[in-house]
Structures are given as structure tokens and as C-alpha cells.
């Protein structure tokens, strides 16, 4: 995964995951419209189909009073979680890891359910939980001692352009001293 | 700047040097010096060895590939706002 496209995709997924979690975990029940209008219902139908479930996740219900906003939030979410360079299955694992790390009750339960629905077994769940736990340890050790990054040189630089863009040549190296 | 003086690899006792070799093999990268985290974990080999084994067990290929797990580790580190 030394292609930046994977990492851009993962970062966008993390952002959207956190956006859904912060609304779902906050005490915002009173914002859920009792009778969402037709436009919101149309978006709800897409959400139910995408997740193959009977109930719209709370993160979407709470913004349904503004159907335009709901539609855009859903569009970003659907894009973030769709198969692209990363599989939807892997994306649910990433979202689960982020949700556990950020102590999101909604995100943890929701993405655990999605992982299982998409075929991840108990071993696979435990593997993701193990990595999440171990790196929640390493990160706190590093922060406590204020360690400075010293492993970033391992990864090669990806000089490919932005999607649809033109290739930029790598910066010229300074001439070596004679 | 680290809140402790990170010891040079040469300041660790002989048996602990093995942990540095394990780290080098794990990353398949010829570090000029063992990474800071390796030197921290080697401070207490009794803890570091268990922790390292748990990490390797979690990161090893299983239902997910090592690469997929490295990405999980990266997003967890990001969520923890850890620059290291």
C-alpha cells in the first residue's frame, strides 16, 4: 500500500466516520423529525438499501430536518464507504478501529455490525481489535515521552499526480559536491 | 523533544540487542539506529518482549493482511493524534 491513493481514501473515511459518530453519540434525540419529509425519505431509502437494514442509522436521522444537508452527508458517506482502492470490508474495519479509539458507542457497535454483515469472522474482528489496542498503547507511550518521528523514511514518495491531473516531475536533486 | 534521553543502542546490554535485531527484521529496513520506540520498549525487556509478541501476533497475517493491518494501525495513531 505504498500508493498514496490508499491513504487519501483512508483519511477521508476516517473523517466521515468521525463526523457520523460525533452526531450519533451526542444527546441530540430531540432533533430527529417525527415525520421526515419526502426528500428525506428518499435518502433514507438509499441508506437502508446500502446497509441492508430495516432502520436508518441514528447519525442520519438526526440531520433529516434538513433534507439537502442529509443528502450531501449521505453522498459523502456512501462514497467514503464504497469499494474503491480499499474494499468496503476493509473500510468498515478501519471505521471500527477509529470508533473504538475515539470511544464512540455508536460507531463501535455500528461498524462491528457492518464488519460481520460483510463477512468478517470473529478472528478478523479480534485481529482489528488487537491492532487497535496495541497501537493505542504505542501512541500513548510515544506521547508520554514526546518521541519524535523517526520511521517516516521507510515509505517511498508517490510521485503520481492527483486523479485526472498531470504528472509533476520529482524535485531535482542538488548537484553532488565534487 | 523527548522528555528522556534516548539511549544509544550500544548502551543496552547484550541480550537486549536481540530485540533490536527482531525490530529490524520486522520492518525489513536497515535503520541507522534502532527506532526510538524499540529503544523505549527495550528499557524493560520483560515488558517489551510480551508487548512486542502481542503486537506481532496482532499484526501478523490472518484474516487481514499485514498491509491492511498497518493501515488500521495508522488510523488508530491518527485518531490518537500521535505524530510519532
pLDDT (tens digit, 9 = 90+) per residue, B19-72?
898 888 888 888 888 999 999 999 999 999 999 999 999 999 999 999 999 999
Q: Which residue of B has its CA nearest to A149?
A: B84
CATH 3.30.930.10 fits A4-145, yes or no: no
Residue B61's pLDDT is: 92
pLDDT at B7 over 80: yes
Distance between CA A61 and CA A40 in Å, rounded?
9
Q: How many Cβ contacts (< 8 angstroms) between chains A and B? A: 128
Q: Do A94 and B55 touch (CB under 8 A)?
A: no
Asked if A101 and B76 touch (Cβ cutoff 8 Å), the reply is yes
pLDDT at A35 over 70: yes
pLDDT at A170 over 80: no
Confidence of residue A176 (pLDDT cuts 50, 70, 90): low
Least confident among A37-46, A125-134, A156-165, A166-175: A166-175
Higher pLDDT, A106 or B15: A106
DSSP characters over chain A: --SHHHHHHHHHHHHHHHHHHHHHHSS-GGGS-SS--HHHHHHHHHHHHHHT-SS--HHHHTTTTSHHHHHHHHHHHHHHHSSSSS-HHHHHHHHHHHHHHTT-HHHHHHHHHHHHHTT--HHHHHHHHHHHHHHHHHHHHHHHTTPPP--GGGSPP--PPSTT-PPPPPPPPPPPP-
Residue B18's pLDDT is: 85
Residue with cell 483512508: A10
Confidence of residue A56 (pLDDT cuts 50, 70, 90): very high
What CA–CA distances, in Å, run from A88 to A77, A78, A135, B82?
12, 10, 23, 26
Chain A residues in contact with chain B using a Cβ-Cβ cutoff of 8 Å:
1, 6-7, 10-11, 14, 18, 86, 90, 93-94, 97-98, 101-102, 120-121, 123-124, 127-128, 130-151, 154
Which residues between 1 and 20 in chain B have a beta carbon less than 8 angstroms from any beta carbon of chain A? 1-4, 6
Residue A175's pLDDT is: 63
pLDDT at A2 over 80: no
Write the pLDDT tens digit of every residue in A65-98: 999 999 999 999 999 999 999 999 999 999 999 9
Write the pLDDT tens digit of every residue in A93-148: 999 999 999 999 999 999 999 999 999 999 999 999 999 999 999 999 999 999 99
Residues of B in contact with A150 (CB under 8 A): 35-36
pLDDT at A178 over 90: no
Q: Do A134 and B58 touch (CB under 8 A)?
A: yes
pLDDT at B15 over 90: no
Q: Do A149 and B73 touch (CB under 8 A)?
A: no
Amino acid at each position: 500500500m505504498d500508493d498514496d491513493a490508499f491513504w487519501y481514501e483512508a483519511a477521508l473515511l476516517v473523517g466521515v466516520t468521525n463526523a457520523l459518530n460525533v452526531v450519533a453519540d451526542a444527546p441530540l434525540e430531540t432533533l430527529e423529525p417525527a415525520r421526515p419529509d419526502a426528500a428525506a425519505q428518499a435518502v433514507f431509502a438509499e441508506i437502508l438499501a446500502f446497509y441492508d437494514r430495516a432502520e436508518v442509522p441514528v447519525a442520519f436521522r438526526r440531520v433529516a430536518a434538513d433534507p439537502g444537508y442529509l443528502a450531501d452527508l449521505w453522498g459523502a458517506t456512501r462514497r467514503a464507504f464504497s469499494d474503491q482502492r480499499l474494499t468496503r470490508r476493509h473500510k468498515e474495519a478501519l471505521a471500527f478501529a477509529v470508533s473504538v479509539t475515539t470511544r464512540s458507542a455508536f460507531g463501535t457497535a455500528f461498524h462491528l455490525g457492518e464488519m460481520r454483515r460483510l463477512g468478517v469472522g470473529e478472528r478478523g474482528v479480534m485481529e482489528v481489535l488487537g491492532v487497535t489496542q496495541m497501537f493505542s498503547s504505542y501512541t500513548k507511550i510515544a506521547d508520554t515521552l514526546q518521541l519524535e518521528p523517526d520511521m517516516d523514511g521507510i515509505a517511498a514518495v508517490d510521485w503520481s499526480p492527483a486523479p485526472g491531473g498531470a504528472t509533476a516531475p520529482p524535485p531535482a536533486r542538488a548537484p553532488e559536491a565534487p | 523533544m523527548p522528555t528522556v534521553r534516548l539511549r544509544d543502542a550500544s548502551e543496552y546490554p547484550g541480550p537486549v540487542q536481540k530485540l533490536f535485531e527482531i525490530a529490524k527484521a520486522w520492518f525489513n529496513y536497515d535503520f541507522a539506529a534502532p527506532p526510538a520506540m524499540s529503544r523505549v520498549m527495550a528499557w524493560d525487556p520483560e515488558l517489551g518482549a510480551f508487548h512486542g509478541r502481542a503486537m506481532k501476533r496482532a499484526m501478523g497475517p490472518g484474516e487481514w493482511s499485514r498491509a491492511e493491518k498497518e493501515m488500521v494501525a495508522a488510523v488508530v495513531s491518527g485518531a490518537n493524534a500521535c505524530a510519532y
